[in-house]
A and B are shown apart, each in its own frame.
Chain A
């Protein structure tokens, strides 16, 4: 009976456990779903996303930044850019938010077993890549070399900066940092991400490159990866699109015969090359 059908638009309520400043305009939200049964059912994989509601202001989609198997909290990194994200930033621990999801496909990490993995993230684009890195590091022997290239506008804008050292200290793992503009204390690299990809000579052999970041960054990283010999099927990205439902209904994220919310957000470059439209 339809009256008994739960509306897929109704979010689960969740309590904000913590909101942690990651950068001047990015906070990490650690949320606990209120209903215990829902908490158990809320399983997801790296690359999937969920909508978070600030009731009274609206809801927006965010890449899930946590790994489900730790199961202590659902995490998203929220950059303050619009009305919903500004409202979320105002919330104090204990506040009730809405969580709807998980939605979308995920990075096929099972298929990548035995391969070298290059992760390239720009700015807030690191959020959906963080669970990929965690999953690989927690199952380290299943994967080859792990290279993580992280860039941001400035040193203060590096998200999850406190975790880089831990990642880089793992076997066969290196973390390459870069910023567009340094500051007085920055002794590291000042370069754009595509230049770093070129500089460190990522090898395409038995490798997969996973990219997330602003569209302009992705575009130029692709140029470099192609020059290094990466084939389109070896490059995977996660597309960002305007979304209102996550259910393949509102048609906002429609590109070609795909819905980013359901068929994506993870696409390989050979899939993207088949789109009629550049997205």
Chain B
């Protein structure tokens, strides 16, 4: 027997939750699916496939004010931005749950990023299992799978005209208290098959591939649009700038940044330690496949395939992994 919720009851449950909480879910605007607060449940894209942008937008938005600085009675007053209401992040797939867990690694490492930590604590993750995989999906190679509930508070698996409901966390169960769940003997469908990519051993082999000419060849076609980093659920580079608003109130704003951008490492006086496209492209993959595992304990990729879909010049992370393994294997045995 499994816990079950009908499609109508699911929407009713979400609608009820919206009275007290912010509901962020996949919506489609101008052809782009992304996670954003919804005004009514009818706007939710219920079978989003993979959203164009990842749910990191909720915790680490493209641009956010960290705090404001104003003057009051001759004193400088710094006011941090805080989150008013609790929230539900709905409709993320299991690989995106892994993405949130990866994002936690840098942002919750001490000293924790206060605004991220607050959002994380006040948000409950309600995920949707994948009905089907896409050709560019490779989540199983990164330790997740289409029905993986590990990083979610609630997982919904579509079956028998509704959803099988799984929840192992306190947060999830608390949220489900208001849901009209029934006991059902509907059978759990088989998860969709997912393509695989040879990730195993990549961390060990990566140092041997660092100086290969392959990176230059690949980077020659990169137009450093940065989209790979922006859609990535695990890319977390950022920039911080000040803006002055009404009444001279200063906003210190954090925005997404990408290691692919030419000025990313440029220091005062003009020196740029990573001046070439090849060095920057390589940095992105070494950060994911070597530095993140060494610093934070995990490869910085979920296998969601978003970067594969979005890249205008077909730079393909699956191909890169496969090529690194091939070159690395040759170097390792000393072959020419």
Selected from A8, A13, A55, A276, the residue in CB contact (under 8 A) with B210 is A276
Selected from B69, B117, B244, B268, the residue in CB contact (under 8 A) with A5 is B117
Q: Is the CB of A55 within 8 A of B76?
A: yes
State which residues 228-265 of B face A: CB under 8 Å. 236-242, 244, 248, 250, 252, 254, 257, 259, 264-265
Contact partners of B109 in chain A: CB under 8 A:
248-249
Residues 63-83 of chain B, each 1 if its beta carbon lies under 8 Å from chain A, else 0: 000110100000010101010
Chain B interface: which of A38-46, A184-192, A196-204, A250-258? Answer: A250-258
Q: Does A224 contact B (CB under 8 A)?
A: no
How distant is the Cα of A206 from the Cα of B32 in the complex, in angstroms? 64
State which residues 37-71 of B face A: CB under 8 Å. 66-67, 69
A3 and B267 contact, Cβ closer than 8 Å, known pairs A9-B66, A252-B237: no
B residues near A (Cβ < 8 Å) are 66-67, 69, 76, 78, 80, 82, 106-107, 109, 111-115, 117-118, 120-121, 207, 210, 236-242, 244, 248, 250, 252, 254, 257, 259, 264-269, 271, 273-274, 279, 283, 286-287, 290-291, 294-295
Q: Does A30 contact B (CB under 8 A)?
A: no
How distant is the Cα of A228 from the Cα of B22 in the complex, in angstroms? 66
Q: Does A85 contact B (CB under 8 A)?
A: yes
Q: Is the CB of B82 within 8 A of A3?
A: yes
Q: Is the CB of B207 within 8 A of A251?
A: no
How distant is the Cα of A222 from the Cα of B93 in the complex, in angstroms? 52
A250 and B112 contact, Cβ closer than 8 Å, known pairs A85-B268, A214-B271: no
Contact partners of A57 in chain B: CB under 8 A:
242
Minimum CB–CB distance for B241 against chain A, Å: 6
Q: List, sorted by A's number, 5 A–B pairs whose CB atoms are closer than 8 Å.
A: A10-B67, A10-B80, A55-B69, A251-B237, A277-B210
Q: Is the CB of B267 within 8 A of A251?
A: no
Q: Does A215 contact B (CB under 8 A)?
A: yes
Q: Is the CB of A250 within 8 A of B115?
A: no
Residues 51-77 of chain A, each 1 if its beta carbon lies under 8 Å from chain B, else 0: 001011111100000000000000000
Contact partners of B238 in chain A: CB under 8 A:
244-245, 249-251
Selected from A2, A60, A79, A81, the residue in CB contact (under 8 A) with B114 is A2
Selected from A3, A8, A60, A251, the residue in CB contact (under 8 A) with B118 is A3
Contact partners of B78 in chain A: CB under 8 A:
10-11, 13, 98
Contact partners of A81 in chain B: CB under 8 A:
268-269
Contact partners of B207 in chain A: CB under 8 A:
276
How distant is the Cα of A44 from the Cα of B307 in the complex, in angstroms? 43
Contact partners of A241 in chain B: CB under 8 A:
265, 267, 273
How distant is the Cα of A269 from the Cα of B78 in the complex, in angstroms? 41
Contact partners of A245 in chain B: CB under 8 A:
238, 240
Q: Is the CB of A82 within 8 A of B268?
A: yes
Other A-B pairs beyond A3-B118, A241-B267, 5, CB < 8 Å: A2-B114, A5-B112, A7-B80, A250-B257, A252-B237
Q: Is the CB of A249 within 8 A of B107?
A: yes
Minimum CB–CB distance for A202 against chain B, Å: 26
Contact partners of B114 in chain A: CB under 8 A:
2, 5-9
Q: Does A272 contact B (CB under 8 A)?
A: no
Q: Is the CB of A55 within 8 A of B66?
A: no
Selected from B67, B69, B267, the residue in CB contact (under 8 A) with A242 is B267
Q: Does A32 contact B (CB under 8 A)?
A: no
Q: Does A96 contact B (CB under 8 A)?
A: yes
Q: Is the interface of B mostly helix, strand, loop or mixed?
A: mixed
Q: Is the CB of B291 within 8 A of A242?
A: no
Most A C-beta atoms less than 10 A away, residue of B78, B237, B242, B268: B268
User: What are the 4 A-B residue pairs with the smallest beta carbon separation, nearest first?
Assistant: A7-B114, A257-B294, A2-B118, A8-B111
Q: Does A247 contact B (CB under 8 A)?
A: yes
Q: Is the CB of A7 within 8 A of B115?
A: yes
Q: Is the CB of B236 within 8 A of A251?
A: yes
How distant is the Cα of A55 from the Cα of B251 in the complex, in angstroms? 9
What residue in chain A is nearest B258 (Cβ atoms)?
Answer: A251
Selected from B248, B287, B294, the residue in CB contact (under 8 A) with A251 is B287
Contact partners of A256 in chain B: CB under 8 A:
291
Contact partners of A279 in chain B: CB under 8 A:
273
A79 and B268 contact, Cβ closer than 8 Å, known pairs A250-B240, A251-B237: yes
Contact partners of B69 in chain A: CB under 8 A:
55-56, 98
How distant is the Cα of A82 from the Cα of B279 in the complex, in angstroms? 25
Contact partners of A13 in chain B: CB under 8 A:
76, 78
How distant is the Cα of A98 from the Cα of B82 in the complex, in angstroms? 21
Minimum CB–CB distance for A88 against chain B, Å: 12
Selected from B80, B113, B252, the residue in CB contact (under 8 A) with A249 is B113
How distant is the Cα of A53 from the Cα of B242 in the complex, in angstroms? 10
Most A C-beta atoms less than 10 A away, residue of B109, B121, B267, B283: B267
Q: Is the CB of B240 within 8 A of A240?
A: no
Residues 192-220 of chain A, each 1 if its beta carbon lies under 8 Å from chain B, else 0: 00000000000000000000001100000
How distant is the Cα of A84 from the Cα of B61 in the complex, in angstroms? 25
Selected from A2, A257, A277, the residue in CB contact (under 8 A) with B117 is A2
What residue in chain B is nearest A85 (Cβ atoms)?
Answer: B268
How distant is the Cα of A214 from the Cα of B270 in the complex, in angstroms? 11
Most B C-beta atoms less than 10 A away, residue of A8, A11, A240, A254: A254
Contact partners of A244 in chain B: CB under 8 A:
238-240, 257
